[in-house]
């Protein structure tokens, strides 16, 4: 008898998929609302209609105050009134020393599914953007422009493949540090992933060069308005304070991520089986590769050659496709675009490309381009749902009123500590809070008015706490399923365990290198 027949199969523990992980976290969040005491700080906002400050008090209703610096001083909010009146701070901020225990607000079993639905509704803006993006991809693929363009590109870059990864990663680091381009980075996968596949790389390289590089840039934000600027405003300091430290940190972090990507991509290029996601290589390549396997049965060789040719029409289609991305970046950075406007911009270019794809000698007609758009959009339904489910977890935590309780507990941990210990513990606090509040601007306005003033008690500048917030929260967002990670992995059909294996050295780097910068700032200042 063949020995292999009696050979027992080894049990192998598999990490569950994105949907299962988020479902489990939703249940944990619901249970947490039963175990963690409910409580809340008063919240302060500016009402532009009446030009007054509004204090939302947990147990006694709203209170209106004159929009003056004196009112802020009386509340103990160390922020300039101009930050409220000129729109620098648009979200409600926590008022120090106003925390109150509230009646417990435990979520019910119904909230497990209810939060998923409501979270999906809240995420409808980014979901529509992703659907339009998917439709655009589907039409460009149907045109054949991807195939012909990639064939031409791979011929020209042969032997210098890593240069593309280098330039993409640098651009993503810059996008992250300047304007926090992370959610928007999802738009770059369709144009770059097929190129990386054609060059012999894997899904890890794709996520590393796009999502990871942009997140590293955001971790070391220099002038990112959604992170360091709003956090500095809420902390009562200027974002220009500590800018030189952040520029230095961003430069070192960029070098680190480039070296790490070079090491990994070189290994994969030399031996594809080295890939951390090698077991999924076949399905990944099938999903993203644009090399045509269609045989055009019954067609002459001459017709096949004509269809594969990189024609003027295909070049125009690719130019229209590529130009949507710099326009998006310009809109986000200088025009204040958000997902609805970006979706409209992408839809405009999709319509132009649909017209070019439907007409001409090898045009696929009106039904062909509409089907291509619908199929492309449907391929990203899973990604869109992941974003909604992650939002649902945050809804459960917020409505259970336990986020402020954790913030109150955190503020008590750092009292009576010396400077270096204070800032390291603060870094770890933001690391944990990053899981609970994955929004950078949301965590900034909730935590900074409470935690930044604690720096005064240990005689260190408040901007150091802002820097700790950046390093701590974003080190967590490399890992947290409540953030953008799961949507990214779902889009590329990558297992969470494969991602953890690749990203943990980067998390350690941000915490250790970031912690070193923080301690140096404390000792010098």
Average pLDDT of the chain? 82
Six-digit token string for 192: 């770059």
* Tokens read off for 360: 């001409």
Instruction: Supply φ then ψ for residue 291, to 5 degrees.
Output: -70, 125
Closest CA to 231 of 70, 422, 437: 437
Q: How far apart are CA 179 and CA 227, in angstroms?
A: 9
Sheet holding 93-94, edge to edge: 61-66, 52-57, 43-47, 93-94
pLDDT grade, residue 153 (50/70/90)?
Answer: low
Question: CA 253, CA 472: separation in Å to the nearest integer?
Answer: 15
Q: What are the tens digits of pLDDT across the range 244-274? A: 999 999 999 999 999 999 999 999 988 989 9
Report the distance separating Cα 26 and Cα 112, nearest Å: 6
pLDDT for the residue numbered 348 = 92
Query: Reduced to 3 states, what is the DSSP secondary structure of residue 102?
Result: coil
Least confident range from 158-162, 249-253, 363-367, 515-519: namely: 158-162
Work out the percent of the chain whose per-residue pLDDT is above 70.
Answer: 88
Whether residue 510 is predicted with pLDDT greater than 90 in this model: the reply is yes
Q: What is the pLDDT of residue 196?
A: 84
Give yes or no for residue 333 having a pLDDT over 80: no
- What pLDDT digit, counting tens, does each position of 384-419 carry? 777 777 788 878 888 888 888 888 888 888 877 888
Q: Nearest 5°: phi and psi at 193?
A: -60, -45
Q: In the structure, what pLDDT confidence band is assigned to residue 151 with cuts at 50, 70 and 90?
A: low
472 pLDDT above the threshold of 90: yes
Tokens coding 366 = 């009106």
Q: Cα(447)–Cα(424) distance, rounded to whole angstroms?
A: 16
Integer Cα distance of 363 and 6 in angstroms: 58
Identify the pLDDT of residue 198: 79
Q: Does residue 98 or residue 297 have the better pLDDT? A: 98
Region at 317 (left for phi over 0; alpha for psi -120 to 50; beta for the rest): alpha
Q: What is the pLDDT of residues 348-391, one digit of tens each?
A: 999 998 998 888 777 788 888 898 899 888 877 877 777 777 78
Token pair 């701070």 is found at: 89
- pLDDT band (50, 70, 90) for residue 7: very low
Q: Which is more confidently placed, 226 or 11?
A: 226
Mean pLDDT, range 28-52, rounded to an integer: 89
Q: Pick from 238, 234, 236, 208: which is nearest to 223 by CA?
A: 238
User: Are β-strands 52-57 and 43-47 bridged in parallel, bridged antiparallel, or unpaired?
Assistant: antiparallel
* CA–CA distance, 229 with 233 (Å, rounded to integer): 6
Q: What is the pLDDT of residue 18?
A: 67
Whether this prediction's pTM lies above 0.85 is answered by no
What is the predicted pLDDT for the residue at 258? Answer: 95
pLDDT on residue 295: 42
> Does position 302 have pLDDT exceeding 60, yes or no?
no
Q: 11 pLDDT band (50/70/90 cuts)? A: very low
CB 482 within 8 A of CB 394: yes
pLDDT tens per residue, range 55-86: 988 877 788 899 899 988 888 887 888 878 88
Cβ–Cβ under 8 Å, residues 420 and 522: yes
Taking residues 275-284, what's their average pLDDT? 85
Q: Are 207 and 295 in contact (CB under 8 A)?
A: no
The pLDDT of 323-327, averaged and rounded, is 81
Residue 43 pLDDT > 80: yes
pLDDT of residue 157: 63
- pLDDT, position 505: 95
Q: By CB neighbour count within 10 A (0-12 exposed, 13-18 middle, 19+ buried), where does 42 fall?
A: buried
SS3 101: strand
- Mean pLDDT over 419-446 rounds to 86
Q: What is the pLDDT of residue 5?
A: 47
Q: pLDDT (tens digit, 9 = 90+) per residue, 108-126?
A: 888 888 888 888 888 888 7
What per-residue confidence (pLDDT) applies to 379?
A: 76
Both structure tokens of 69? 């610096």
- Which residue has 């993503």 as its token pair? 172
The pLDDT-based confidence of 93 (bands split at 50, 70, 90) is confident
């Amino acid at each position: 008898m063949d020995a292999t027949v009696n050979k027992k199969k080894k049990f192998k523990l598999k990490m569950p998929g994105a949907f299962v992980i988020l479902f489990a976290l939703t249940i944990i969040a619901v249970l947490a609302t039963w175990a963690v005491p409910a409580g809340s700080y008063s919240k302060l906002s500016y009402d532009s209609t009446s030009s007054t400050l509004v204090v939302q008090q947990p147990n006694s209703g709203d209170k209106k105050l004159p929009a003056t610096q004196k009112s802020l001083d009386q509340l103990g909010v160390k922020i300039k009134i101009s930050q409220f009146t000129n729109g620098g701070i648009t979200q409600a901020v926590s008022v120090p020393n106003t925390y109150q225990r509230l009646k417990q607000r435990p979520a019910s079993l119904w909230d497990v599914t209810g939060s998923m639905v409501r979270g999906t509704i809240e995420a409808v803006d980014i979901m529509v953007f992703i659907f339009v993006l998917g439709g655009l991809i589907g039409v460009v693929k149907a045109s054949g422009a991807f195939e012909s363009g990639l064939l031409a590109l791979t011929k020209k870059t042969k032997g210098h493949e890593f240069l593309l990864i280098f330039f993409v990663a640098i651009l993503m680091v810059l996008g992250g540090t300047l304007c926090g381009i992370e959610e928007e980075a999802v738009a770059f996968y369709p144009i770059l992933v097929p190129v990386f596949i054609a060059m012999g790389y894997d899904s890890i390289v794709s996520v590393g060069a796009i999502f990871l590089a942009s997140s590293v840039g955001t971790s070391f934000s220099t002038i990112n308005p959604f992170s360091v600027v709003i956090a500095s405003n809420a902390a009562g300091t200027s974002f220009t304070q500590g800018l030189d430290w952040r520029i230095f940190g961003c430069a070192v972090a960029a070098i680190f991520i480039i070296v790490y990507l070079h090491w990994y991509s070189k290994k994969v290029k030399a031996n594809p089986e080295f890939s951390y996601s090698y077991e999924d290589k076949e399905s990944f390549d099938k999903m993203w590769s644009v090399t045509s396997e269609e045989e055009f049965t019954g067609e002459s060789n001459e017709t096949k050659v004509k269809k594969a040719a990189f024609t003027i029409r295909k070049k125009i289609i690719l130019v229209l496709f590529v130009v949507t991305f710099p326009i998006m970046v310009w809109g986000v950075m200088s025009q204040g675009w958000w997902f609805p406007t970006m979706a409209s911009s992408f839809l405009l270019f999709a319509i132009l490309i649909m017209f070019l794809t439907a007409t001409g000698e090898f045009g696929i007609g009106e039904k062909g381009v509409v089907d291509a758009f619908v199929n492309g959009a449907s391929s990203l339904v899973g990604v869109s749902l992941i974003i909604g489910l992650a939002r649902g977890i945050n809804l459960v935590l917020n409505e259970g009123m336990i986020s402020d309780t954790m913030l109150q507990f955190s503020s008590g941990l750092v009292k009576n500590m010396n400077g270096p210990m204070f800032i390291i513990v603060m870094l770890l606090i933001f690391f944990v809070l990053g899981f609970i509040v994955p929004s950078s601007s949301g965590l900034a306005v909730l935590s900074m008015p409470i935690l930044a003033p604690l720096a005064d008690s240990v005689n260190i500048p408040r901007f150091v706490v802002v820097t700790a917030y950046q390093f701590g929260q974003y080190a967590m967002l490399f890992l947290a399923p409540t953030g953008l990670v799961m949507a990214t992995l779902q889009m590329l059909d990558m297992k969470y365990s494969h991602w953890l294996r690749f990203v943990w050295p980067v998390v350690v780097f941000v915490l250790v290198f970031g912690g070193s910068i923080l301690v140096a700032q404390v000792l010098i200042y």
